[in-house]
């Protein structure tokens, strides 16, 4: 037995969230929001377009960073949540690998990306393929699934780096294919971050 993606997706997809009486969504140890995907895509597209050439990479890094920190902190809340405990953990037989399988099933169920693991070398490398993701609809040039890059990196850090919250920035994710540039799917490769210098 391993984590069965369809079971996780079907269970988690039923969950809908919306603001409470204060208009807030406190879940997974963070405040959640539920925003139009078009708004987020539009911001990425326009801030990248507005940035001068010498700042484009800094802006792209900033967009990845936003998703990365979101994914790292929220991800910790997700994989320690009751729903993850109830749905995913009973199927975990392969340790970290199964936790990651569960995490990517959750990515799918919650509409971030219909994605899963293609290759996994524990603690070293992970290749993710996404057959659908909302950033694929974004305008702009080049590979631009900033959010998904950040999330892939965050979940690999959560799984294989030092325990939360000390494992940040151990790994890095690069996008190698993108639906937004005409590839049949998005592909994301997480590897260990090279030491600076």
Partner 1 sequence: MPNNAEHIHIADNTHFLKGSLSLTNITDLVQFLAASYKSGMIHLHKHPAGIEGKIFFTAGAITNVSTDELSGLGALSEIMNWDQGEFQFNPDVTSIEKNVGLSVQHAIIEAAVLHDQRITNKPTSHIDITPGEGSGEMEMNQRDSTTVLNDLLMIPGIDVVVVVGRDGFVIESVGNSSRVNIDELGASLAHAINAIEEMGNELKVSLFQDMFIEYGKAVIMCRPVGDAIAAVTAPDASKLGIVRHKAKKYFEELVLLF
Partner 2 sequence: MSLKLDFSLDNETFRRYLNGHAVVMHSHHYLALITKLAEDLSDIGGPQLLKDVVEENMWAVLHDYVQQNDVPSPLQRCNVGREYYSVYGLGKLKVGGTENGGEVCLVRSHIDEGWIKKWGRHSKPINHFTCGYIAAMFAVAFNKPVKSYTVTETESMAVTGTEGTFIVTLS
Alpha-carbon distance of 28 to 12, in angstroms, equals 14
Of 196, 189, 193, 195, the C-alpha closest to 121 is 189
112 binds partner 2 (CB under 8 A): yes
Report the nearest approach of partner 2 to the CB of residue 25 (Å). 4
Q: Is residue 172 a contact point for partner 2 (CB under 8 A)?
A: no
Tell whether residue 5 is a contact of partner 1 (CB under 8 A): yes
Candidate list 121, 182, 196, 197; residue touching partner 1; CB under 8 A? 121
The residues that bridge with 174 in the sheet, in sequence order, are: 189
Q: Which is nearer to partner 2, 170 or 191 (CB)?
A: 170
Site for partner 1 in 174-193 (CB under 8 A): 184-185
For residues 79-109, one letter each, b for 16 or more C-beta atoms within 10 angstroms of the residue's C-beta and e for the rest, the string is bebeebeebbeebbeeeebbbbbbbbbbbbb
Q: What is d(CA 116, CA 19) in angstroms, rounded to the nearest whole number?
A: 29
111 belongs to the binding site for partner 2 (CB under 8 A): yes
Q: Mention every residue, 6+ apart, whose C-beta is less than 8 A from residue 79.
A: 88, 99, 102, 103, 158
Residues in Cβ contact with 77 at an 8 Å cutoff, skipping those fewer than 6 apart: 27, 28, 29, 30
Written as six digits, the tokens of 109 are 């169920």
- Considering the rule CB under 8 A, would residue 6 count as an interface residue with partner 2? no
Q: Which stretch binds partner 2 (CB under 8 A): 14-22, 116-124, 156-164, 165-173?
A: 14-22
Q: Which does 129 bind (CB under 5 to 8 A by kind): partner 1, partner 2, none?
A: partner 1
Bridge partners, 126 (sequence order): 120, 190
Q: Is 30 in the site for partner 1 (CB under 8 A)?
A: no
Query: Per CB under 8 A, does 148 bind partner 1?
Result: no
Rule CB under 8 A: which residues touch partner 1?
1-6, 98, 101, 104-105, 115-121, 124-125, 127, 129, 131, 184-185
Rule CB under 8 A: which residues touch partner 2?
9, 13, 16-19, 22-25, 28, 30-40, 42-43, 46-47, 50-52, 55, 59, 62-63, 65-67, 69-70, 72-74, 108-112, 114, 132, 134
């Amino acid at each position: 037995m391993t984590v069965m993606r369809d079971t996780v997706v079907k269970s988690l997809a039923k969950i809908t969230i919306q603001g409470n009486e204060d208009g807030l969504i406190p879940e997974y140890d963070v405040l959640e929001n539920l925003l139009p995907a078009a708004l987020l895509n539009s911001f990425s597209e326009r801030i990248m377009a507005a940035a001068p050439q010498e700042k484009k990479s800094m802006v792209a890094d900033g967009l990845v960073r936003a998703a990365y920190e979101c994914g790292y902190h929220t991800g910790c809340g997700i994989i320690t949540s009751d729903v993850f405990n109830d749905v995913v953990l009973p199927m975990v037989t392969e340790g970290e690998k199964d936790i990651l399988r569960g995490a990517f099933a959750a990515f799918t169920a919650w509409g971030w990306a219909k994605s899963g693991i293609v290759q996994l070398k524990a603690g070293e490398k992970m290749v993710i393929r996404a057959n659908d993701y909302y950033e694929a609809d974004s305008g702009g040039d080049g590979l631009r699934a900033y959010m998904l890059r950040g999330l892939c990196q965050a979940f690999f850090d959560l799984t294989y780096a030092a325990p939360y919250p000390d494992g940040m920035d151990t790994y890095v994710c690069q996008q190698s294919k993108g639906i937004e540039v005409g590839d049949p799917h998005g592909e994301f490769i997480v590897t260990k971050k090279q030491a600076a210098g």
